[in-house]
Amino acid sequence: MMKMMSEQTSKGTLFVVTGPSGAGKGTVLGRALPAIDKIHYSISATTRQPRPGEIDGQSYYFVTHDRFRSMIDDGALLEYAEYVGNYYGTPVAAVDSELNAGRDVVLEIEVQGALMVKQKRPDAVLIFIIPPDFSLLEQRLHSRGSEPDDVIARRLEKARSEYQSGDRYDYIVVNDVLDEAVRELTSIIIAQRCKTEKRIDLLR
Amino acid sequence: MMKMMSEQTSKGTLFVVTGPSGAGKGTVLGRALPAIDKIHYSISATTRQPRPGEIDGQSYYFVTHDRFRSMIDDGALLEYAEYVGNYYGTPVAAVDSELNAGRDVVLEIEVQGALMVKQKRPDAVLIFIIPPDFSLLEQRLHSRGSEPDDVIARRLEKARSEYQSGDRYDYIVVNDVLDEAVRELTSIIIAQRCKTEKRIDLLR
C-alpha cells in the first residue's frame, strides 16, 4: 500500500486542454507553457494537410490515412478523433514515458478525444477553454480565414454539442482577456502540483 | 436541483490557510492577497496579548476570556482553538455574509481550528503551509525571539502531531523560496475559481 502510494505520487499528471475550435486554446496554452517548468507538450498525429507555417514533428506529426489506421490497430494512440474529415490522435508511448518519469504532460486536443482520455485515465485533468460568448466563436473562426463557410458551420454545430458535456471537464477557462486566461491555465497546473496526494511524502 | 446548483455556484469559496507555527503562513498569505481580487480576509478573535505592532480589529480582535466564552456560548464562532494557553476563534457572521454575497473568504488559523472548519464545511479548501524541512521550524520560532523556550518546545510538539493529519488537507504549500510559495497559494485560489462546478452556468 505504501509502495503503491509512493509510486502514484511520483508519477506526473496528465493535463488535457480542450475546447471548441476557435476558443483560442492553442494561443492560451502557448503563452502559458513558458512560465511552467517540467512539463511536456504532447505532439499529435494528424491526417490533415499542414497549414502555412506548420512544421512536421513540431506542430503535428503529419501522417497518411494508412499510417494513422495502423497506429490505431497497433494500440499506439491514447485517443483519436475524426474531425471535419480528418483524424487526430495522441501517440501514447511518449505520454507514458514522460508520466512515468514523473513529468507532467499536456495534451491540446479536440473535445471528443479529451473525453476518451478521461474515460481511460480518470486521473487526467480536463480543462475546457471557451470564449466569453458563444457568438465570438463564429467571429474568430471566420477571421482565421483558413476554412470555407460550410466547415465553419460544422465546427459551430460541434461546439454546441461540446458545451453539453461541460460537467465532464474539471476546469473551465474563459478566454476573454488573454492574460487572464493564461494566468488561469497556469494556476490550474501549478495548483494541481500542490495537491496533498502529490506531496504527502513531504509530511513523513 | 437546478436551483440548488445555481445557488451553490453563486456562493463564495472558504479557503483555510493553516500550518505549524513558524511555517510562515502569515507572510505567504500577506504577499499573496494583494494579487487576488474579490477576497475577504477574516479577522480572528483571540484572548492572547497583542504583540508589538499588532492592532486591534486589524491583526485580531483582542478580547477577554469572558467575552470569548460568551462568543462560544452564543454560537458566534465558526471554529475556535486553545493554543499555548490562549484562545483563537473565527467570528462566523462576517464569514457567512461574504460567502453568501458570492465573495471568497480566507481564514488564517491554527490546524486544530482548520480541521474543525473542514468538518462543519466540507466544501472549505484547506491549505497546509510547511517549511521545506522540519528542523527549520525550530530555527524560525527561535529567531522570532518573542517566546520562551518551553513555549517553542510545545509549538514543535504540536507541529509534529499536525503533520500526522496531513491527508486531511486539500493542498500543501512548501515555503522554501517565498516567491514560489506565494505563487503556489495564489494559484490554488485562482484555480479553485475555475472549477467546473463554479462556472457551469457559463455553458448554458
The string of pLDDT tens digits covering residues B160-185 is 888 888 889 999 999 999 999 999 99
Residue of A nearest to B186 (CA): A187
Q: Which residues of B touch A200 (CB under 8 A)?
A: 166-167, 172
Give ipTM to 2 decimals. 0.88
Question: Residue A190 and residue B203: Cβ atoms within 8 Å?
Answer: no
- Joined together, the cell numbers standing for residue B80 give 475556535
pLDDT for residue B1 is more than 50: no
Cα–Cα distance between A72 and A127 in angstroms, integer? 25
Tell me, yes or no, if A15 comes closer than 8 A to chain B by beta carbon: no
Residue in B187, B188, B202 nearest the CB of A172: B202
Per-residue pLDDT of chain A (204 residues; tens, 9 = 90+): 344 444 444 899 999 999 988 889 999 999 999 999 999 999 999 999 999 999 999 989 999 999 999 999 999 999 998 877 899 999 999 999 999 999 999 999 989 899 999 999 999 999 999 998 888 888 888 887 778 888 888 888 888 888 888 889 999 999 999 999 999 999 999 999 999 999 998 888
- Joined together, the cell numbers standing for residue B2 give 437546478
Residue in B188, B193, B200 nearest the CB of A194: B188
| pTM, to two decimals | 0.89
What is the tens place of the pLDDT at every residue in B84-98?
789 999 999 999 999
- Joined together, the cell numbers standing for residue B28 give 505567504
The minimum CA-CA distance between A49 and chain B, rounded to whole Å, is 32
Q: Which residues of A touch B193 (CB under 8 A)?
A: 184
What is the tens place of the pLDDT at every residue in B19-61?
988 889 999 999 999 999 999 999 999 999 999 999 999 989 9
Cα–Cα distance between A104 and A113 in angstroms, integer? 19
Q: Which residues of B touch A35 (CB under 8 A)?
A: none
